[in-house]
Amino acid sequence: MKERMKEEAWNIHFSEFGRGVCMYRTSRTRELILNGIPESLRGELWLLFSGAQNEMASHPGYYGDLVEQTMGLCSLATEEIERDLHRSMPEHRAFQNEMGIAALRRVLTAYAHRNPNIGYCQAMNIVTSVLLLYGTEEEAFWLLVALCERMLPDYYNTRVVGALVDQGVFEDLTRAFLPQLYEHMQELGVITTISLSWFLTLFLSVMPFDSAVLLVDCFFYEGIKVIFQVALAVLHDNMDALLACSDEGEAMTILGSCAFLVRLIFTASSHRALLHVIFKNNFVANFTKIPQRSPLTGFTRF
């Protein structure tokens, strides 16, 4: 029933602001996303927000051709893909049979063929599995293109440079927003590497699926900013425990266990509340004020 109401709200929005290849970004759109995208519209909206819809429309037949070309091909990438197919989303029914696995194989292999600079990076399999749950193979492919080439630039390349750069940015943000914790974390050592998987999988590998997918909704609309916000919220939420740690092992135990996220979710009884937990700390409002210069390359992000 709730799903129906959400759908209705979106339909009203569509009739006013358009549907299909483009849509206005209004404060109401954001509001609707925070209220939760209905399952039936998720794929369509991800395609729209990411621009994948446009690319797909302007490249008819492209994915099908790639699949044909890559059929039976053997490479380092295909070997690596093969090894990970059964450990991408093993708990989900869709990937407990050969049909789901074969679709995942085709999309990842096609992408590796399209972009040899990336090939296949562990984490792409997890994200692609989720994309496949909400769209056709072709749609999942174009969403993956949007992620790898626009929304998460260089994240999955052969040295995961983009993701590492963003760990540096994340460290800077920690210094700006949670200075006390930042000092303590510097003393503890290299624990920011734990957040690497949060960024590479958009939290899909560490958070319960139903919650993580809400973040993915926000991510497609607002970009990587959302992941930074959630990551800061996670640190903030566990600040006392982290400050009490005397070595990096203890800190890793806190951040590595799912416990921290479960807590975040328990305090949030509804989708909206979850997102408010994340945004309440006002990381959002202040976000644009800091120059987000990445420590490695000097690029300005956002």
Partner 1 sequence: MSESYDFLFKFLVIGNAGTGKSCLLHQFIEKRFKDESNHTIGVEFGSKIISVVNKMVKLQIWDTAGQERFRSVTRSYYRGAAGALLVYDITSRETYNTLTTWLSDARMLASQNIVIILCGNKKDLDADREVTFLEASRFAQENELMFLETSALTGENVEEAFVQCARKILNKIESGELDPERMGSGIQYGDAALRQLRSPRRAQPQGAQECGC
Site for partner 1 in 196-225 (CB under 8 A): 196-197, 200-201, 205
Q: How far is the CB of 58 from partner 1 (least distance, A)?
A: 31
DSSP 73: -
Task: Name the token pair of 10.
Answer: 């979106």
DSSP 302: -
- List beta partners, residue 293: 300
* From 14-22, 115-123, 178-186, 282-290, span contacting partner 1 (CB under 8 A): 115-123
Instruction: Please give the Cα distance from 169 to 292 (Å, whole number).
Output: 7
The yes or no reply on residue 93 touching partner 1 (CB under 8 A) is no
Instruction: Give the residue carrying structure tokens 């624990």.
Output: 191
Task: Figure out which of the listed residues 88, 109, 128, 211 binds partner 1, where binding follows CB under 8 A.
Answer: 88
Q: Which of 123, 125, 141 is nearest to 227 (CA)?
A: 123
How far apart CA 275 and CA 35 sit, in angstroms, is 9
Rounded to 5 degrees, what are φ and ψ at 116? -65, -20
Q: Cβ closer to partner 1: 155 or 221? A: 155
The reply to whether 56 sits near partner 1 by the rule CB under 8 A is no
Residue 141: phi, psi to the nearest 5? -60, -50
- Site map for partner 1, 22-51, x if CB under 8 A? ------------------------------
Query: Is residue 59 a contact point for partner 1 (CB under 8 A)?
Result: no
Q: Helices in 61-147 by DSSP H: which ranges?
A: 62-70, 76-84, 98-114, 124-133, 137-146
Which of residues 50, 53, 109, 122 is near partner 1 by CB under 8 A?
Answer: 122
- Of 157 and 292, nearer to partner 1 (C-beta) is 157
In angstroms, rounded to a whole number, what is the distance separating the alpha carbons of residues 77 and 136? 23
Rule CB under 8 A: say whether 91 interacts with partner 1.
yes
Residue 18 phi, psi (nearest 5): 100, 160
Question: Residue 126: which of 202, 231, 40 has the closest Cα?
Answer: 202
193 contributes a contact to partner 1 by CB under 8 A: yes
Whichever of 84 and 139 has its CB closer to partner 1, that residue is 84
Q: Using the minimum distance from each CB to partner 1, give the nearer residue, 222 or 248.
A: 248
| Contact flag: residue 164 with partner 1 (CB under 8 A) | yes
Residue closer to partner 1 by CB (options 209, 302) is 209
Q: Rounded to the nearest whole angstrom, what is the least distance from the CB of residue 113 to partner 1 in the complex? A: 18
Residues binding partner 1 (CB under 8 A): 80, 83-84, 87-88, 90-91, 121-123, 126, 157-160, 164, 190, 193-194, 196-197, 200-201, 205, 247, 249, 252-253, 256
